Amino acid sequence: MDKKVARTRRSRRTRVRIALQRTNRLVVARSNCHIYAQIIAPTGDRVLASASTLEADVRKSIKNGSNRAAATIVGKRIAEKAKAAGIEAVAFDRSGFKYHGRVKALADAAREGGLKF
């Protein structure tokens, strides 16, 4: 089975499970160069907060957008933005990526920032 197909299937299953919980979800996406995080409303039609390594403030503080240090900064930033928007609890949607490396670093930093998973 193709890697992309497998990841898509896993992420679809996760989205369905989270949709049944009726809670905000923290969605993580990563590429070879950057990492992105969004908090999406339970209905799935609105982005309530977002952070990525493409933001000007984040780019100033990092040298490379594709490492764990960058993911940690994005995790802290998404937690700050969530607190400002009044969001305290989210469901973590890793979009089919393994909970390892950059994805884990982002999640741990968001937890340290005060988000409850």
Taking only the tens place, the pLDDT of each residue in 50-77 is 999 999 999 999 999 999 999 999 999 9
Rounded percentage of the chain residues whose pLDDT exceeds 90: 74
- Count the Cβ atoms, other than its own, within 10 Å of residue 65: 22
Q: What pLDDT score was predicted for residue 55? A: 95
pTM over 0.85: yes
Write out pLDDT tens, residues 75-114. Answer: 999 999 999 999 999 999 998 899 999 999 999 999 999 9
Residue-wise over 25-42: b if at least 16 C-beta within 10 A, else e? Answer: bbbbbbeeebbbbbbbee
Q: CA geometry: angle at 109 spanning 108 and 113, to 5°?
A: 120
Write out pLDDT tens, residues 21-48. Answer: 899 999 999 999 999 999 999 988 999 9
CATH of 3-112, one of 3.40.50.1370, 3.90.1150.10, 3.30.70.1400, 3.30.420.100: 3.30.420.100
Q: CA geometry: angle at 42 spanning 97 and 70, to 5°?
A: 40
